[in-house]
C-alpha cells in the first residue's frame, strides 16, 4: 500500500516530463540527446552552486528569513542562468530548430532537477507507513518547476539566440527572465519571511508558473512573427 | 582484442555489483518516521507446567480501534485501545474467555500510578479513589495473568500524544465503520522478533552476617536470629512490576534493621550475644524457591543454631494492625515467646498485632508464606505481614497495582521500629521492660529519609527474577548496602527450578502511524492518470494539432500507409 503511494507520487513528480517529451514534437525529432546533455550540464551547475553556497553562506541557526543571506542566495541562484546559457549556446546540438532546442534543454534541466532534489526524499519518505500530503505537494511543485524551467529556457533562447527581436520587447523579456530566475528566492521568502505553509506556497508556484508560461509564450510568438 | 573485451565485461560486472549494492543499501533505509513513538510494556508470557499463559505474541501491525465496538465487527485485524478508566472487567473477561479474535490490545494506564509524586492522600475522597484504582488494577492483573491470550497485549501510560490519537480514533469509529485497510486511520506497529524462552533463569540470594560477641572461654556456638525478606516481584507487565509494598517494603525494613543493629554491634559494649543473619531472597512468587535453595545451602550447625527467623512481607500500607503468621501451633513455646515480645512492643507503639496459624499441607506444593520454607526445614519462623490471609499463587507479588503511591513510609518506619525493638529486647534480655532502645530523636532512631529513598528506588526498579540478570545493578546495590551494614556478605546464584518457563521481550516501542487508505491511493492514481492523459492531449493538440492526436489512436497499418 505504501509502495503504491510511492508509485503515485513518482507518477506525479516525473510523469509530466515523460508526457511532455512524448506528446510534443520533441520525440519526433529525437531530441533526447539534447535533453541528456542539458541534464549533465545541470549536474555540473548544481555542483558549482553547492560549492558556492557552502563557501559563502552561513548555516542558518533558525528558520527565519535573513535578507542579506537570501540576497546572496539569489545571486548564487543566477549560476543556474549561466548554466542554461551554456546549455543553450555552447553545446553542439544536432540540427534541430531553436524552437525544439529550448524545450529539450528545459525538459532535461527540469528532469535532472526533479531527480536530484525529489527522488531520494520520495524514496525514503513516501514508502513509510505514515501518510502526509507533503510528497503529493512536492510532486505538484515538480510540475510547476517544469513549466518555469521551460519558460526560462524559452526566454533564454530569445535573449541569446535570436538576433532580430522587436526592440520594445527586449526589456520585458529581461524582466521576465529575471523574475523566473529569482523564483526560488521568492518562494523562499514566502515560506520563511511571511510564514506561508507548504500547500499555499505550492499553490502560488503553480499559479505563477502558469502565468509566466503564458507570458513567455506570448513573448515568444511575438518575436516569432517578424521573422516569419 | 578478446582480452580487452573480457576486461570490459569484468568492469561491467563490477559496476553492476556496485549498483546492486547501492540499491540494496537504499532499500534498507530505515523507515522510522512515525508520528508518535510510545514506550509499551508487554503482558507477561509464561508456561506453568507446560500450560501456556499470558500474551503469546509480541509483534503488532494493525489498525487502531476503540471501545465500544459494533457487535459482530471483525476485530481480528484491529488493535483495541482501552484507557484503564473505561475497562469493564466483566466484559473483558467474557471477551477473552470466549476467545474472540482480536488483533491486539493496548491498555492505557493512568499516568499518576507511575508518577513519583509522593503526597500522602489528605482527603479521604481521593484516598477512596486511589483504593478503587488499586483494587481494579489488581483485578485486571489477576484476569490477564491467568489466561492464555493468543494476541499481543501491551500496557502504556496515558500521555498527551496517545490521548490525542485515541480521541481521533474514537471520532473515526463513531462516524463510520472502524478503521481497516480501506478506510485509513492509525496503524500501530511494534516490530519485534518472536518471543523466545528464557534459558535457565537464575535467582540470586544475598545474605549478610552480623556476628555476635562471644564471651571468653565460651565454646558453644552463639544462637542466631534470621531476618529475611524476599525482594523479587511478579506481575502482569514484568517491566512495570516494581512491587513497592510486596515486597519492597520488607526489603527496605530489613535494610534499616541491618543498619540499626550494625550501629549497636560496632561497639563491643553493645554487641549482643546473638548472631544476626540477614537474608534477601529471590524467587518469592514461585513458592519461595530462592528461600528453599538458601536454606539448603546452610550447613547443619548453622541451621540448628537459628533460634528463630522473622520474615518480612508487605508491611508498607497498613493502618493499625499487623499479623504474625505461623505454621506451628500458637501454644509452641518459641512461638509464644516471639509473639509476646512483639505484642508487648506493639502495645507500647499503639498498634495491634494478631496471630494467625496456618498448618502446612505437605502434599501441597504451594508455599504461601516465606516462613513455611523455614518450618519445612525445622527452623522456627514467623512472617510479619499486613495481609491477614495467605495469598494465592502469583497473588500479592508486587504487580501493576503495587506502586509507590500506595505505600506509606510511616507504616514502614513503624514496622521497622516494632521488629527492631522486639529483637533488641530479646537479644539484650529486656523482655517485659519498657526500655526504648530505638527511641525517636536518639542516635539509634529509625531514619525515615533512609526508608523513603530506598522505597523510591524500589518503586523504580522492576524486579521480576527471570528478567533480572545475575549482575544487575540493583542486585549489586543491595549487596553493597548490606555489605555496608554487616560483616560478611555472600551472594548465591541458583537456577530457578519449578514448573515455570518464561519468555523474553518485556518492553518495546510502539510506532503510531497515520495512514491513508488504499481507496485514497486508488483515487489518487485515477486523478493522476486522467491528469496525465489530459496533459498529453493538450500538448499534442497545441503543438501538433488535433488530427495528430486522432491519428495516434488509429491502428498502426494506417500510419504505415501514411508513411508510404
Verify whether the Cβ–Cβ distance A4 to B187 is below 8 Å: no
CA distance A68 to chain B (A): 34
Given CB atoms, is A119 within the 8 Å cutoff of chain B? no
CA distance B34 to chain A (A): 6
Q: Residue B521, preceding bond cis, omega within 30 degrees? A: no
Q: Are residues B213 and B129 in the same domain?
A: no
Confidence tier at B114 by pLDDT (50, 70, 90): very low
Write out chain B residues lying below 8 Å of A5, CB-based: 516, 521, 524
- pLDDT for B204-213, tens place per residue? 999 999 998 8
| Cβ(B497)–Cβ(B286) below 8 Å | no
Question: B87 vs B55, B56, B108, CA distance in Å?
Answer: 18, 21, 10
Confidence tier at B280 by pLDDT (50, 70, 90): very high
- Indicate if the pLDDT at residue B55 is higher than 80: yes
CA distance B512 to chain A (A): 8
Burial level of B226, CB count in 10 A (0-12/13-18/19+)?
A: buried
Verify whether the Cβ–Cβ distance A136 to B524 is below 8 Å: yes
Interface of B with A in 519-548 (CB under 8 A): 521, 524-525, 528-529, 531-532, 535-537, 539-540, 543-544
Indicate the range of A70-74, A149-153, B23-27, B329-333 predicted with least confidence.
B23-27
Q: How many CB pairs under 8 A join A and B?
A: 72
Q: Are residues B384 and B477 in the same domain?
A: yes
Q: Are residues B187 and B238 in the same domain?
A: no
Range of the domain at A69: 2-227
Question: A39 vs A34, A46, A105, A135, B15, CA distance in Å?
Answer: 9, 10, 8, 23, 22
Q: Are residues B122 and B191 in the same domain?
A: yes
- Indicate if the pLDDT at residue B28 is higher than 70: no
Residue B7 resides in a domain: no
Q: Which residue of B has its CA nearest to A99?
A: B543
Find where cell 555489483 sits.
B17
Q: Are residues B262 and B302 in the same domain?
A: yes
Instruction: Please list the pLDDT of chain A residue by residue as tens digits (228 residues).
Output: 578 888 888 899 999 999 988 888 877 777 888 888 889 999 999 999 889 888 887 776 666 667 787 788 888 888 888 888 888 887 776 667 777 888 888 889 999 999 988 888 888 877 777 777 888 888 999 999 999 998 988 888 888 877 777 778 888 888 888 888 888 888 888 887 788 888 888 999 999 999 999 998 888 888 776 544
Given CB atoms, is A130 within the 8 Å cutoff of chain B? yes
CA–CA gap between residue A123 and residue A106 (Å, rounded): 25
- Kindly report the CA angle at A132 between B82 and A124, in degrees rounded to 5? 110
Confidence tier at B556 by pLDDT (50, 70, 90): low
CA–CA gap between residue A130 and residue B354 (Å, rounded): 61
Residue B125 is predicted with a pLDDT of: 52
A contact test, residue of B184, B543, B550 with most A CBs within 10 A: B543
Which is higher by pLDDT, B252 or B514? Answer: B252
In the structure grid, which three cell numbers stand for residue A32, read together?
A: 533526447
In the structure grid, which three cell numbers stand for residue A227, read together?
A: 521573422
CA–CA gap between residue B399 and residue B235 (Å, rounded): 4
Range of the domain at B351: 202-495
A contact test, residue of B77, B521, B533 with most A CBs within 10 A: B521
Residue B27 resides in a domain: no
Domains contained in chain B, number: 3
Burial level of A222, CB count in 10 A (0-12/13-18/19+)?
A: middle
Question: B17 vs B9, B11, B23, B164, B385, CA distance in Å?
Answer: 12, 10, 10, 47, 70
Q: What is the DSSP letter of B239?
A: G
Residue B321 resides in a domain: yes
In the structure grid, which three cell numbers stand for residue A15, read together?
A: 510523469
| Cβ(B224)–Cβ(B302) below 8 Å | yes
Residue B552 resides in a domain: yes
- ipTM of predicted complex: 0.85
Given CB atoms, is A20 within the 8 Å cutoff of chain B? yes
Given CB atoms, is A50 within the 8 Å cutoff of chain B? no
Nearest CB among A15, A23, A131 relative to B516 is that of A131
CA–CA gap between residue B94 and residue B100 (Å, rounded): 9
For residue B490, give the 3-state DSSP assignment. Answer: strand
R_g of chain B computed on alpha carbons: 33
Given CB atoms, is B24 within the 8 Å cutoff of chain A? no
Q: Are residues B477 and B550 in the same domain?
A: no
CA–CA gap between residue B67 and residue B34 (Å, rounded): 24
Please compute, for residue B85, the number of CA atoms within 13 A of its CA located in the half-sphere on the CB side.
Answer: 7
Residue B221 resides in a domain: yes
Question: B266 vs B6, B123, B257, B400, B485, CA distance in Å?
Answer: 88, 44, 14, 40, 10
CA distance B413 to chain A (A): 53
Q: Which residue of B has its CA nearest to A1?
A: B518
Bridge partner list, B492:
B205
Q: Are residues B511 and B431 in the same domain?
A: no
Given CB atoms, is A133 within the 8 Å cutoff of chain B? no
Nearest CB among B34, B521, B531 relative to A4 is that of B521
Q: Are residues B449 and B468 in the same domain?
A: yes
Given CB atoms, is B184 within the 8 Å cutoff of chain A? yes
- pLDDT for B42-52, tens place per residue? 999 999 888 99
For chain B, give the number of residues.
564
Tell me, what CATH number does B224's domain have?
Answer: 3.40.630.10
Nearest CB among B26, B513, B543 relative to A25 is that of B543
Write out chain A residues lying below 8 Å of B34, CB-based: 129-130
Indicate the range of A221-225, B54-58, B140-144, B153-157 predicted with least confidence.
A221-225
Q: Which residue of B has its CA nearest to A22?
A: B536
In the predicted model, what is the mean pLDDT of chain B? 84
Q: Are residues B357 and B400 in the same domain?
A: yes
Write out chain A residues lying below 8 Å of B189, CB-based: 129
Residue B178 is predicted with a pLDDT of: 59
- Indicate if the pLDDT at residue B368 is higher than 70: yes
Residue B503 is predicted with a pLDDT of: 92
For residue B526, count other CB atoms closer than 10 A to its CB. 10
Residue B1 is predicted with a pLDDT of: 43
Write out chain B residues lying below 8 Å of A129, CB-based: 31, 34, 187, 189, 511, 513, 515
A contact test, residue of B27, B33, B165, B529 with most A CBs within 10 A: B33
- Indicate if the pLDDT at residue B68 is higher than 80: no
Domains contained in chain A, number: 1
- pLDDT for B447-469, tens place per residue? 999 999 999 999 999 999 999 98
Nearest CB among A1, A23, A136 relative to B540 is that of A23
For residue B337, count other CB atoms closer than 10 A to its CB. 15
CA distance A169 to chain B (A): 24
In the structure grid, which three cell numbers stand for residue A139, read together?
A: 510532486
Amino acid at each position: 500500500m505504501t509502495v503504491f503511494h510511492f508509485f503515485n507520487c513518482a507518477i506525479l513528480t516525473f510523469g509530466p516530463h515523460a508526457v511532455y517529451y512524448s506528446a510534443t514534437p520533441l520525440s519526433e525529432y529525437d531530441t533526447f540527446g539534447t535533453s541528456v546533455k542539458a541534464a549533465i550540464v545541470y549536474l555540473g551547475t548544481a555542483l558549482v552552486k553547492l560549492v558556492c553556497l557552502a563557501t559563502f553562506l552561513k548555516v542558518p541557526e533558525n528558520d527565519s528569513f535573513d535578507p542579506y543571506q537570501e540576497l546572496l542566495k539569489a545571486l548564487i541562484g543566477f549560476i543556474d542562468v549561466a548554466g542554461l546559457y551554456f546549455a543553450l549556446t555552447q553545446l553542439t546540438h544536432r540540427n534541430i530548430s531553436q524552437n525544439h532546442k529550448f524545450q529539450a534543454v528545459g525538459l532535461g534541466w527540469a528532469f535532472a532537477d526533479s531527480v536530484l532534489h525529489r527522488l531520494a526524499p520520495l524514496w525514503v519518505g513516501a514508502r513509510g507507513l505514515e501518510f502526509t500530503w507533503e510528497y503529493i505537494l512536492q510532486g505538484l511543485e515538480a510540475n510547476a518547476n517544469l513549466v518555469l524551467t521551460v519558460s526560462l529556457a524559452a526566454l533564454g533562447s530569445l535573449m541569446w539566440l535570436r538576433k532580430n527581436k522587436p526592440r520594445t520587447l527586449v526589456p520585458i523579456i529581461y524582466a521576465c527572465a529575471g523574475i523566473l530566475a529569482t523564483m526560488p528566492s521568492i518562494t523562499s521568502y514566502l515560506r520563511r519571511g511571511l510564514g506561508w505553509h507548504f500547500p499555499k506556497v505550492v499553490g502560488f508556484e503553480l499559479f505563477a508558473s502558469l502565468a509566466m508560461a503564458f507570458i513567455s509564450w506570448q513573448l515568444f510568438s511575438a518575436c516569432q512573427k517578424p521573422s516569419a | 582484442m578478446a582480452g580487452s573485451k573480457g576486461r570490459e565485461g569484468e568492469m561491467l560486472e563490477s559496476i553492476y555489483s556496485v549498483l546492486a549494492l547501492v540499491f540494496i543499501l537504499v532499500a534498507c533505509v530505515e523507515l522510522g518516521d512515525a508520528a508518535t513513538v510510545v514506550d509499551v510494556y508487554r503482558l507477561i508470557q509464561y508456561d506453568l507446567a507446560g500450560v501456556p499463559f499470558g500474551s503469546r505474541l509480541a509483534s503488532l501491525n494493525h489498525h487502531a480501534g476503540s471501545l465500544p465496538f459494533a457487535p459482530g465487527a471483525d476485530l481480528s485485524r484491529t488493535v483495541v485501545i482501552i484507557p484503564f478508566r473505561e475497562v469493564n472487567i466483566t466484559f473483558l473477561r467474557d471477551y477473552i474467555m470466549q476467545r474472540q479474535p482480536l488483533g491486539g490490545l493496548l491498555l492505557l494506564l493512568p499516568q499518576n500510578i507511575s508518577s513519583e509524586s509522593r503526597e500522602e492522600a489528605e482527603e479521604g475522597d481521593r484516598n477512596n479513589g486511589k483504593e478503587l484504582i488499586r483494587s481494579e488494577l489488581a483485578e485486571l492483573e489477576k484476569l490477564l495473568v491467568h489466561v492464555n491470550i493468543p494476541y499481543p497485549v501491551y500496557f502504556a501510560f496515558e500521555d498527551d500524544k496517545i490521548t490525542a490519537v485515541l480521541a481521533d480514533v474514537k471520532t473515526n469509529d463513531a462516524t463510520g465503520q472502524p478503521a481497516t485497510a480501506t478506510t485509513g486511520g492509525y496503524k500501530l506497529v511494534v516490530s519485534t522478533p518472536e518471543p523466545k524462552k528464557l534459558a535457565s533463569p537464575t535467582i540470586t540470594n544475598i545474605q549478610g552476617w552480623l556476628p555476635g560477641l562471644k564471651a571468653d572461654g565460651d565454646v558453644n556456638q552463639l544462637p542466631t536470629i534470621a531476618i529475611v525478606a524476599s525482594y523479587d516481584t511478579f506481575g502482569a507487565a514484568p517491566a512495570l512490576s516494581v512491587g513497592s509494598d510486596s515486597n519492597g517494603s520488607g526489603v527496605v525494613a530489613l535494610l534499616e534493621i541491618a543498619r540499626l543493629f550494625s550501629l549497636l554491634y560496632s561497639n563491643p559494649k553493645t554487641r549482643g550475644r546473638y548472631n544476626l543473619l540477614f537474608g534477601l531472597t529471590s524467587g518469592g512468587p514461585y513458592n519461595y524457591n530462592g528461600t528453599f535453595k538458601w536454606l539448603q545451602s546452610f550447613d547443619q550447625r548453622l541451621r540448628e543454631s537459628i533460634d528463630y527467623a522473622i520474615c518480612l512481607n508487605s508491611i508498607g500500607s497498613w493502618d493499625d494492625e499487623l499479623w504474625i503468621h505461623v505454621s506451628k501451633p500458637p501454644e509452641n513455646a518459641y512461638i509464644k515467646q516471639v509473639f509476646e515480645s512483639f505484642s508487648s512492643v506493639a502495645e507500647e507503639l499503639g498498634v495491634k498485632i494478631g496471630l494467625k496459624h496456618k498448618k502446612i499441607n505437605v502434599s501441597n506444593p504451594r508455599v504461601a508464606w516465606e516462613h513455611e520454607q523455614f518450618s519445612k526445614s525445622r527452623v522456627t519462623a514467623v512472617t510479619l505481614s499486613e495481609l491477614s490471609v495467605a495469598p494465592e499463587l502469583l497473588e500479592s507479588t508486587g504487580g501493576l497495582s503495587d506502586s509507590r503511591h500506595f505505600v506509606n513510609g510511616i507504616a514502614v518506619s513503624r514496622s521497622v521500629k516494632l521488629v527492631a525493638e522486639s529483637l533488641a529486647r530479646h537479644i539484650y534480655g529486656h523482655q517485659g521492660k519498657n526500655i526504648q532502645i530505638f527511641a525517636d530523636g536518639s542516635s539509634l532512631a529509625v531514619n525515615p529519609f533512609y526508608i523513603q529513598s530506598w522505597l523510591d528506588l524500589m518503586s523504580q526498579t522492576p524486579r521480576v527474577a527471570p528478567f533480572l540478570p545475575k549482575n544487575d545493578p540493583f542486585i549489586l546495590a543491595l549487596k553493597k548496602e548490606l555489605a555496608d551494614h554487616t560483616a560478611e556478605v555472600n551472594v548465591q546464584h541458583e537456577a530457578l527450578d519449578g514448573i515455570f518457563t518464561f519468555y523474553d521481550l518485556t518492553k518495546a516501542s510502539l510506532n503510531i502511524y497515520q495512514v491513508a487508505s488504499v481507496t485514497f491511493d486508488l483515487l489518487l492514481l485515477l486523478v493522476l492518470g486522467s491528469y496525465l492523459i489530459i496533459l498529453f492531449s493538450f500538448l499534442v493538440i497545441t503543438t501538433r494539432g488535433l488530427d495528430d492526436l486522432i491519428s495516434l489512436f488509429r491502428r498502426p497499418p494506417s500510419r504505415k500507409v501514411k508513411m508510404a
